[in-house]
Amino acid sequence: MNVGFASPWWLLLGMGALLPWLRPGQPGVDYSSAVMIPEDRLSAAIDRGLRALASLALLALAAGIAGPYALEQWEERLGTGAHIVLLLDRSSSMNENFSGRYLGGTAGESKNAVARRLLSDFVQRRGDDLFAVVGFSAAPRYVMPLTQDREAVLAAIDSIGDRGHGITHIAPGLAMALDFFNGKPVTGARIILLVSDGATRIEDESQDMIRQWFQDYQARLHWIYLRSKNSAPLARAPMGTSENASSEYLLHRYFQSLGVPYTAYEAENPQAVEDAIADVERLANQPLRYLEKIPKQDLSGFFYGCAVILLLPLLLAKSLEVRTW
């Protein structure tokens, strides 16, 4: 364990540990002839032991006053789970409910609110997973890096907010989500959980780059497609030329070409969203090794406790001291 001190100058008080060896520990007692007192090795050993205890107590007190602390460090943890990046659509269409109406009046719970509520439940059920959060609309929004801090992840999901805005531009969001795996050791499943209602395409110049990153980082993709009544199903092929295909269909076909495990879920109501998340949860259980940051810890209480323990024998010896013959 690496130890630091908040006020290291107080360690100079530790020089007081020499005092018990520079002066007698007990007051002198007059006796007619010291020559007549036989040598007592046991008493001499007890005297040296009490001096040593006094020195150690003074050192412990000096260390406690100096404010010792254990430095921040990383510890390896083993578990079962995955590295999961939550990629959440923040476009204005996410303000609609599953019937296609916007919030207000009888619109009910928006797709965005349903997604945030169920994802929060999902995060709380997962014990060993590391989560990251990215929001996207016209541009990606860095919200939370990979962490096991559940409170931070829940706050990040809540920070996405109720009201989306702008159009859906998914390529930069995918790129930011994949970048969380850059330079990280491959351990456990790597999952990008995309929650979106579609209505977007990936430009040709970005498709090859994103496909390569998925393969390099060995990441799998799960898309929970929040489909309203008026939205096209993912499997509906275009009539005639590909120009007639819906953007959701083309995006689905592109994801199928990534060369990594990909699953799409068409969710037309909150229960379908919950079922999709439950299926992702079943697929996300793999052996997982990760590093957890241990924050700085105050050690002054430990040193003060050691000083008290060392002083107790000295107090007991003092109470047994013979002052006169």
- Confidence grade of residue 223 (pLDDT, cut at 50, 70, 90): very high
Which residue segments constitute the domains of the chain, with CATH numbers given? 3-71+295-319 (no CATH), 76-292 (3.40.50.410)
For 9, half-sphere exposure in the C-beta direction (CA atoms, 13 angstrom radius) is 0
Compute the distance between CA of residue 281 and CA of residue 128 in angstroms, rounded to an integer. 12
pTM of the predicted protein model: 0.64
* Maximum Cα–Cα distance across the chain: 124
Predicted local confidence at residue 104, as pLDDT:
47
* CB contact burial 167-180 (16+ within 10 A = b; e otherwise): ebbbbbbbbbbbbb
For residue 216 the two structure tokens come to: 């390099």
For residue 111 the two structure tokens come to: 């797709």
273-296: pLDDT as tens digits: 888 888 888 776 666 666 667 778
Three-class SS state of 159: helix
37-54: pLDDT as tens digits: 677 788 788 888 888 999
Predicted local confidence at residue 128, as pLDDT:
74
Q: DSSP readout, 198-217? A: ------HHHHHHHHHHHHHH
Is the CB of residue 190 less than 8 Å from the CB of residue 83? yes
For residue 317 the two structure tokens come to: 């010896």
77-115: pLDDT as tens digits: 666 668 899 999 888 778 777 765 555 444 467 888 888
R_g (Cα) of the chain, nearest Å: 34
List CB contacts of 16: < 8 A, sequence separation 6 or more: 58, 62
